[in-house]
Amino acid sequence: MSDRFPAVTAPLRAIFDESERVLSRIFPPRWNPLLNLGALGFFFYWIVVASGVYLFVFFGTGVNKAYDSVEYMTRDQWYAAGLMRSFHRYASDGLVVVMLVHLLREFSLDRYRGVRWFSWLTGVPALVLVYIAGVSGYWLVWDKLGQYVAIVTTEWLDHLPFFGQPVARNFLSPDSLEDRFFTFMIFIHIAIPLIALIVLWLHLQRINRPRIDPPRGLAVGAGLALIALSIVDPAVSQGRANLAQVPGAIGLDWFYLGALPLLENLPGRATWSCAVAMLVVVGAAPWLPPLKRPAVAKVDLANCNGCTRCVSDCPYDAITMQPRSDGRPFEGEAVVDPGYCVSCGICAGACPTSTPFRRMSALTPGIDLPERSIASIRADADREAARLTDETRVMIFGCMNAGVAEACRSNAVGVVSLNCSGHLPPSFVDFVISRNLADGVMIVGCAENSCLNRRGGDWTRDRMERRRDPCLRKRIPDGRVRLIWPGRRGLAGLRADVLAFSSELKSMGAFRPGGARRVEPVKPNISGRADA
């Protein structure tokens, strides 16, 4: 799959790669915030909800009560409700920041097209709802900022032909604003996040085991950062609202209110057209133009024993187990939903019947990709091995999304393309080494923590490090297998890794099944980090 907008996605991806590298110096690998954006979004969401419930207990619902109640919380109860107010504010800011970065990251990784349209499209209303909830929160304080936000947003709404009476009319004078209208705003501020939660639930419907909880350390760190911010720079009000006066100079929260000066100063028709056009373009991005989809995974019942490995490894929940339809004595059979399948091949990599040790004529696994079958991978491996004439031979199994493996082909290096690193059944590594097709195997993925297919990199590492079935057989010394995520190091980096790996293999000598464990390093470096 090639990017649709490389001029935009390539620099964006480079920025993400670089930021990830910098953050990886500060955070342990699993805690890197860029790898946990969706989970951090949920984390901030729950903080906003919990702190909001607490604040509601003290909140005075009414035009004349709201400001005083918020002042009471901020000044008299600064150590509890005041802190909670700041916590609420900064968690909301955190939510909007991670949401926007998450959107950009999914876009840069090209994870929004084809059947992934569903997560993308449901993300758009989530984004709008988070904004509406945030903006409406500023009204409720009913200070000068609240007054400004209320007037600008209602005047903007009044450009729409839906309202019989202008909504901004409510803010003409102190007498025109009724408690009822204020109660309505509170309702909006509570109902919208709840609707957003339903939309977020939908957002994850096509994702297998979505990461919605950040690692504990990251959650604790993010929570402490919010507390520190709340203490150092507590949220305060900006003077009581007074509808008899136009609010003067006020400070804006740029995360939510950055667009308000534009709404205030540009013609309503232009800003509405711009906002709608932006939403339509973002929402329609997965179809601009539609992605040509490869054939989806296909189950061969004669070879499916109902083990469920493909179900648990499929990153997009595309496989379910159904009652057996062929009368064979297995509990169930795998069934692929074509509407969910991204043709990554991870299921074929998980299937115990995808083994190259079977006769070529019988090499039809329980599940396979019609356009890149396990048999064709085996045929390519055989063909590439036959070509290698160098003393030390490396076989690369490369994810085609990485796009660099093919360029390494030489008389010392064979290259076999995969749809994803997770497409490779570990038995292929065993096959290549134990049948002496090459001296070592390199598996080249697209990016270590940013796999196009969400979990391809994770499952490959776990399978090769023997933590996840199907595991690499123990007779293969770890030193003869290397996982590489070229990432931003690109072709030059990969070539350097191949050279280094070849010289290690050379010093190991030929593979001998019985004596293999003797040449194994103490703690083998099975994973080569992109920036190692």
Residues that bind ligand SF4 in the complex, under the rule CB under 6 A: 296-297, 299, 304-310, 314, 316, 318-319, 334, 336, 341-347, 350-353, 366-367
Q: Which position among 73, 81, 124, 186 is part of the footprint of ligand HEM (CB under 6 A)?
A: 124
Distance of CA 232 to the CA centre of its chain: 32
**Least CB distance from residue 347 to ligand SF4, whole Å?**
3
**Least CB distance from residue 38 to ligand HEM, whole Å?**
2
115 binds ligand HEM (CB under 6 A): no
Q: Which position among 35, 55, 73, 126 is part of the footprint of ligand HEM (CB under 6 A)?
A: 126
Q: Which does 238 bind (CB under 5 to 8 A by kind): ligand SF4, ligand HEM, none?
A: none
368 SS3 class: strand
Q: Which does 366 bind (CB under 5 to 8 A by kind): ligand HEM, ligand SF4, none?
A: ligand SF4
Q: Given the rule CB under 6 A, which of 126-134, 177-185, 291-299, 415-423 is the region that contacts ligand HEM?
A: 126-134
User: How far is Cα 130 from Cα 193, in angstroms, rounded to an integer?
Assistant: 7
In the bound state with ligand HEM, the residue whose beta carbon lies nearer, of 130 and 152, is 130
DSSP code of 73? Answer: I
In the bound state with ligand SF4, the residue whose beta carbon lies nearer, of 454 and 480, is 454
Q: Which does 454 bind (CB under 5 to 8 A by kind): ligand HEM, ligand SF4, none?
A: ligand HEM
Phi-psi region of 239 (alpha: psi -120 to 50; beta: other; left: phi over 0): left
127 binds ligand HEM (CB under 6 A): yes
DSSP code of 163? Answer: -
Contact positions with ligand HEM (CB under 6 A) in 292-321: none
456 binds ligand HEM (CB under 6 A): no
Contact positions with ligand HEM (CB under 6 A) in 15-44: 38-39, 41-42
Q: Which residues contact 488 (CB under 8 A, 6 or more apart)?
A: 14, 17, 18, 21, 530, 531
Could you tell me the CA-to-CA distances from 257 to 238, 252, 425 in Å, in that order?
15, 6, 51
User: How far is Cα 153 from Cα 260, in angstroms, rounded to an integer?
Assistant: 8
User: How far is Cα 273 from Cα 290, in angstroms, rounded to an integer?
Assistant: 25
**Least CB distance from residue 455 to ligand SF4, whole Å?**
9
Q: Which does 400 bind (CB under 5 to 8 A by kind): ligand HEM, ligand SF4, none?
A: none
103 binds ligand HEM (CB under 6 A): yes
Q: Which residues contact 182 (CB under 8 A, 6 or more apart)?
A: 61, 62, 63, 66, 142
User: How far is Cα 166 from Cα 100, in angstroms, rounded to an integer?
Assistant: 32
**Least CB distance from residue 184 to ligand HEM, whole Å?**
24
Q: Which does 444 bind (CB under 5 to 8 A by kind): ligand SF4, ligand HEM, none?
A: none
| Cα distance from N-terminal residue to C-terminal residue, the chain | 27
Contact positions with ligand HEM (CB under 6 A) in 195-254: 200, 203-204, 207, 210-212
In the bound state with ligand HEM, the residue whose beta carbon lies nearer, of 130 and 241, is 130
In the bound state with ligand HEM, the residue whose beta carbon lies nearer, of 110 and 430, is 110
**Least CB distance from residue 65 to ligand HEM, whole Å?**
31
Residue 519 near residue 508, CB atoms below 8 Å: yes
In the bound state with ligand SF4, the residue whose beta carbon lies nearer, of 43 and 340, is 340
In the bound state with ligand SF4, the residue whose beta carbon lies nearer, of 310 and 530, is 310
In the bound state with ligand SF4, the residue whose beta carbon lies nearer, of 168 and 319, is 319
User: How far is Cα 423 from Cα 362, in angstroms, rounded to an integer?
Assistant: 19
Q: Which does 505 bind (CB under 5 to 8 A by kind): ligand HEM, ligand SF4, none?
A: none
Tokens of 85: 């107010």
Residue 36 near residue 94, CB atoms below 8 Å: no
Largest Cα–Cα distance of the chain, in whole Å?
Answer: 91
Q: Given the rule CB under 6 A, which of 21-29, 113-121, 268-276, 476-484 is the region that contacts ligand HEM?
A: 113-121
192 binds ligand HEM (CB under 6 A): no
Q: Which position among 113, 454, 480, 482 is part of the footprint of ligand HEM (CB under 6 A)?
A: 454
Residues 85-102 as b/e (b if ≥16 CB within 10 A, e otherwise) read: bbbbbbbbbbbbebbebb
**Least CB distance from residue 1 to ligand SF4, whole Å?**
13
In the bound state with ligand HEM, the residue whose beta carbon lies nearer, of 83 and 420, is 420
Could you tell me the CA-to-CA distances from 387 to 393, 408, 424, 438, 497 in Å, in that order?
10, 14, 21, 11, 21
User: How far is Cα 303 from Cα 352, in angstroms, rounded to an integer?
Assistant: 10
Could you tell me the CA-to-CA distances from 152 to 82, 159, 273, 440 in Å, in that order?
27, 11, 17, 66
Q: Which position among 67, 120, 428, 511 is part of the footprint of ligand HEM (CB under 6 A)?
A: 120
Residue 480 near residue 524, CB atoms below 8 Å: no
User: How far is Cα 403 from Cα 1, in angstroms, rounded to an integer?
Assistant: 10
- Residue among 487, 403, 389, 485 at smallest CA distance from 442: 485
Number of residues counted as binding ligand HEM (CB under 6 A) = 26
**Least CB distance from residue 527 to ligand SF4, whole Å?**
22
Report the run of H or E that residue 382 belongs to, with start and end. Answer: helix 374-387
Q: Which does 346 bind (CB under 5 to 8 A by kind): ligand HEM, ligand SF4, none?
A: ligand SF4
User: How far is Cα 395 from Cα 380, in angstroms, rounded to an integer?
Assistant: 11
**Least CB distance from residue 34 to ligand SF4, whole Å?**
24
Contact positions with ligand HEM (CB under 6 A) in 320-339: none
**Residues near ligand HEM (CB under 6 A):** 38-39, 41-42, 99, 102-103, 106, 111-112, 116, 119-120, 123-124, 126-127, 130, 200, 203-204, 207, 210-212, 454
